Amino acid sequence: MRDAGGATPRYLVTGYPMSHAFDRHDHRTCVARALSAAEGACAERRLSLTPLRRRTLEILLESHAALGAYDVLARLEAEGFGSKPPVAYRALGFLVENGFAHRIEGLSAFVACDRPGAEHAPSFLVCRRCRRVAEEDIAAPLGAEAEAEGFAIERTVVEAQGLCPACRGGA
C-alpha cells in the first residue's frame, strides 16, 4: 500500500505509520489530513478553531521543522494577526493543550502533531542542524518501573537529538 506521495508507509508496533518528516512525501496531503483531523476534533469536542488558531496550525504545518513562538509571532504579525507575544502563546497553548501541536523542550519550539486529536505517547527525533522533527509513537518509557514503584506517570517527554538523513549527507 502506498500513500498519496507514492511512498510505502512504514509502521511501528503501535499500528501508526511512522513520521514522514525525513522522507519525501506528498506534503499537501500531509497538511490537508492534519487540518481535517484538527477541524474534526474541534467540532467533536465543541472547541473553537478560530482563524488565528487555524493559521498558527497552518504555519506549523508548512514544514516538519520546529518553530519558536517568536518565529510564529513574526508570521502572524506580517499577516495582520497582532504583534504582542500573548497572541502567539495563546494560540500555541490551545494547539498543544488539545493535541494539535507539541512543544519540543530541547529547542523551546513547537511542531504540529502528526496524529492530531489522537491519544498517543509521542517521542521525537530532532535534527539539531535543520530543526526538522519526526514524531514517533513508542511504548511509554519507565511504565513498568513506575508501576512497580506505585508511581503514576502523568507526562513523559522523549526527545532524541541528532542529524536527519539530509543533514548527515552534508555533515
Domains of the chain listed by start with CATH number: 27-169 (1.10.10.10)
Say what the pLDDT of residue 29 is.
Answer: 82
The secondary structure of the chain as a DSSP string is: ---TTSPPPPB-TTSPBPP-TTS---HHHHHHHHHHHHHHHHHHHT----HHHHHHHHHHHTSSB-B-HHHHHHHHHHTTS-SSHHHHHHHHHHHHHTTSEEEEGGGTEEEE-SSTTS---EEEEEETTT-BEEEEE-PPTTHHHHHHHT--------EEEE--HHHHHT-
pLDDT value at 19 more than 60: no
Say what the pLDDT of residue 21 is.
Answer: 57
Say what the pLDDT of residue 27 is.
Answer: 65
Say what the pLDDT of residue 52 is.
Answer: 96
Q: Residues 14-39: what's their mean pLDDT? A: 68
Identify the band that residue 28 occupies on the pLDDT scale cut at 50, 70 and 90: confident
Q: Residues 134-145: what's their mean pLDDT? A: 81
pLDDT in tens, 81-136: 999 999 999 999 999 999 999 999 999 999 999 888 777 778 899 999 999 999 98
**What global pTM score does this model have?**
0.79
pLDDT in tens, 37-71: 999 999 999 999 999 999 999 999 998 889 999 99
Identify the band that residue 12 occupies on the pLDDT scale cut at 50, 70 and 90: very low
Burial class (CB in 10 A: 0-12, 13-18, 19+), 169: exposed
Say what the pLDDT of residue 90 is.
Answer: 96
